[in-house]
Amino acid sequence: MNRYVLARLGQALLVLWAAYTVSFVVLYALPGDPVSLMFGSESSDVTPAQLAALRAQYGLDQSLPVQYATHLGAALRGDLGSSVVLHRPVAALIAEAIPPTAAIAAAAFVLALLVGGALAIVATLTRSRGLSNALLGVPPLGVAIPSFWFGLMLVQWFSFAHPIFPAVGNKGFSSIVLPAVTLAVPTAALIAQMLSRSLQHSLRQPYVDTARAKGVGPVRVHFRHALRNASLPALTVTGLVVGELLAGAVVTETVFSRPGIGRLTATSVTAQDIPVVQGIVLFAAAVFVLVNLAVDLLYPLLDPRIVRHSKAARSQPATAQAAPTLEPATAGV
Amino acid sequence: MSERLLTVTDLAVAYRTRRGTVRAVRDVSLHVDAGETVAVVGESGSGKSTTAAAVVRLLAPAAVIDHGSIDLLGNDVVNASQRALRTVRGILVGLVPQDPTVSLNPVTRIGEQVAEVLRIHGLADRKNAHVEAIESLRRAGLAQPEVRARQYPHELSGGMRQRVLIAIALAAKPRLLVADEPTSALDVTVQRQILDHLEQLTTGTGTGILLITHDLGVAADRADRIVVMSQGRVVEQGTPDEVLGSPSDPYTRELLAAAPSLRGARIIAAPVPRSAVPVLEARNLTKEFPLPRSAGGGTLRAVDDVSFVLPKGRTLALVGESGSGKSTTARLALRLAEPTSGSVLFDGADVTHTHGPALRLLRRRMQVVYQNPYASLDPRFSVQRIITEPLRAFAVGSRTERAARAVELLDVVALPRTVLQRRPAELSGGQRQRVAIARALSLNPELVVLDEPVSALDVSVQAQILDLLANLQAELGLSYLFISHDLAVVRQVAHEVAVLQHGRVVEQGHVEDVFARPTDAYTAELLSAIPGGRVRVGQGGAS
């Protein structure tokens, strides 16, 4: 473990803690608590004494800082509390919802990477200006299409007009296809947009001219020289895309009536099931942090400048450090 | 009569832009024979780089070859298919690009980048290509080529990277080498080593070189023939003696007169009555930077016991190559950085520890002109706003007074009043640098720090700016701290010079003394590295 990895790990933990704290403040500092929401404010079936007993059971009678400390302590031990609607542990609910969401998210991610990457490569590789412009026009369209509409259209075509894939449910591989395609469209568009931009940028760099002057052909220039450099900014976006996939799951799973994290989010937000909502926020943050941690750890493998920088400084400190300029000075100061 | 490698006939290249067609190269004809070095000389916009790019058909996408032919050993380069070009590039013609810092793929090892030439042309298999790549790096003059081959570009200095690019260009032993400003981004001593080496590598093998350069001195030293280009046309060509000895074209004469490396005449101001108190004095300045722990900790001494005196109304040049500590020294003198030890005296007063409002007042009395006028002016500001910004910052005068001052300053730097409302993008490089000078003068400073003020400019513009600076010094009694890597420029404008190497002053004194009789070996090396020595000797040092 070197310093780079440790620093990234520390940052990841900090982000998780911040996500927990912010969601706690937002959810628990709101007027009205889960117990009164459960029974409605003018409910006559329960006595105030029963309400108070329930509040005590959920720890809601304590002051906010005390509640925060207890919840955080419990969360650190893996106990995220239990749902006030379903009366089941939050952790179990989330664990059950992960596999179906993971299936469509992973399929969507792979699909988005392939389609988005291919689109960007073909658009920048082709010598036909018309094809290039047509392809580069696709990503903005992909981002602009509302995914619930696109999902419904897919169901219309491929489930009702031509019954190839099931419209709803989560039985078998064929049920994954339509949700995954729906989920992949905005993500693929984002990747295509980013990668084609940075490919265009890389192809204008002088090192590409050096390669062409060697006699390297266009395909090799693209894959060997431009793509590797262009994939660096695209990789950063890929880390962010995962958040997009989780957010997209809410719509997609609702449209296709699939169980999963998205559905769980939708139902617990509607029911104001605060412990579950917070559990999901924490889960989403954890996924996000892990993916970005993976991206950060992948960076040095693709870009030698990142970790090796310290080595370079060791071998030639004078050239690496001794080039200060007068730039920060401004005339009027 | 040796073999004809390259024949360019009536070449015309135009850039098709939205604003219309720009004819960059018009009816250019030139040729390169085996074993010959042909230098194409001209200022920016002369079409010299476009000509070089056309020879390898690596023109920008907007460029179109209108007519003309390029014959490279029997290959028609203009009409060749992409596939045919791939058998020409690398094998028949190698390219050494302009800026070594950005011309190597940053994520690929050096060895692979050299070996690629051999691999794609089927000249070697994977294993042999690697061995030959190392050999090629060794021939290009890189020490420890086995180690270099495993490194990445960012781990090498600019000079080393340029050697790598030369190794790439020569790996497949091409007959012709096109070198587009191969050393413009490098220090003079490194420049000389690289050019010497290039010469060594190509003599004997019969390789021809098409050398593109803005520096007449380099052309004079290195070329068998010189082609002078201006506004897309060839205005003159011949041997260095013909072109530089008795130029027939007025543009060549102009270029020759402006070239600092060839021009012996000094343009320094008449001496101003000297005051006993120097405007700026540095006493034993030392600046250390802590090195990151990953680099093994410790400190880097960027400035080491530097002392100098800048008398009022004079110019002191701080000279050195990159990393010599000249910029850090200037930052310390300007109080933009805190010295580790030593002191700075401004107008006789110790200002080493001045801070707060007193420091702000001190800043008024010293101003800076930066190297790159393309970057140092806010592109969204009008010229008037740029010039009056320091006045606004110090709340000097009313709005109308400031406007009047802007007009006055434009006169001082010899710019027409019509530029007041223009933006920097509408001005040429020389005009922009005049605006930057006007801005520096707006608060009537006593000291102006000139940080490589002409390095980003064409030679003829350089000469105009240097003349302007000299006139301003005479009229306003300014004192200049002139930072430069270019000894030829320093010889023209400075009274005193301090030569820095590794943060230490290795030699200082009057410019005449130091240039005529350098006592330090490094100074002597710097002086002999100034290109154009051949012509200077021939002309007896005057032009």
pLDDT in tens, B317-361: 999 887 788 888 998 998 988 999 999 999 988 998 888 889 988
Please give the average per-residue pLDDT across A195-201, as a whole number: 92
Looking at every residue in chain B, the average pLDDT score rounds to 86
CA pair distance B277, B286, nearest whole angstrom: 23
Nearest to B32 by CA among B67, B2, B76: B2
Q: Which of A33-47, A128-142, B449-463, B517-531 has the lowest mean pLDDT?
A: A33-47
Of B83, B95, B152, which is closest to A308 when you measure between CB atoms? B152
* Contact by Cβ (8 Å): B225, B55: no
**In Å, how far is A111's CA from the nearest CA of chain B?**
27
Q: What pLDDT does A143 receive?
A: 86
A214, A223, A231, A232: best to mutate for the B interface, most B CBs within 10 A:
A214
User: Considering only CB atoms, which chain B residues are within 8 Å of A328?
Assistant: 336
Q: Which two tokens stand for residue A188?
A: 């693929």
Residue B535 has pLDDT above 80, yes or no: no
Residue B244 has pLDDT above 50, yes or no: yes
Q: What pLDDT does A129 receive?
A: 86
Q: What pLDDT does B19 receive?
A: 74
Contact pairs from chain A to chain B, CB under 8 Å: 165
Q: Which two tokens stand for residue A55?
A: 């509040």
User: Residue B350 CA to chain centroid, in angstroms?
Assistant: 36
Of A214, A308, A322, which is closest to B155 when you measure between CB atoms? A308
Whether chain A has a CB inside 8 Å of the CB on B105: the answer is yes
Chain B residue with Cα closest to A220: B120
- Alpha helices by DSSP H, A77-226: 90-125, 129-144, 147-155, 174-203, 206-214, 218-220
Domain spanning A94-316: which superfamily? MetI-like (1.10.3720.10)
CA pair distance A68, A73, nearest whole angstrom: 8
Confidence band of A41 (pLDDT split at 50, 70, 90): low
- As annotated, the residues of chain A forming the CATH 1.10.3720.10 domain(s) are 94-316
Chain B residue with Cα closest to A313: B295
Q: Give this prediction's pTM.
A: 0.77
Q: What is the ipTM of this complex?
A: 0.75
Nearest to B100 by CA among B179, B28, B174, B35: B179
CA pair distance B329, B381, nearest whole angstrom: 31
Nearest to B96 by CA among B168, B32, B195, B179: B179
**In Å, how far is A323's CA from the nearest CA of chain B?**
5
Chain B residue with Cα closest to A229: B107
Q: What pLDDT does A316 receive?
A: 38
Pairing of strands B208-213, B176-180: parallel
- DSSP assignment letter at B418: G
Distant-in-sequence, close-in-space partners of B136: CB < 8 Å, separation ≥ 6: B114, B167, B168, B170, B171
pLDDT digits (tens, 9 = 90+) for A103-113: 899 999 999 99
Backbone φ/ψ region at A285: left (φ over 0), alpha (ψ -120 to 50), beta: alpha
Q: Do A312 and B154 touch (CB under 8 A)?
A: yes
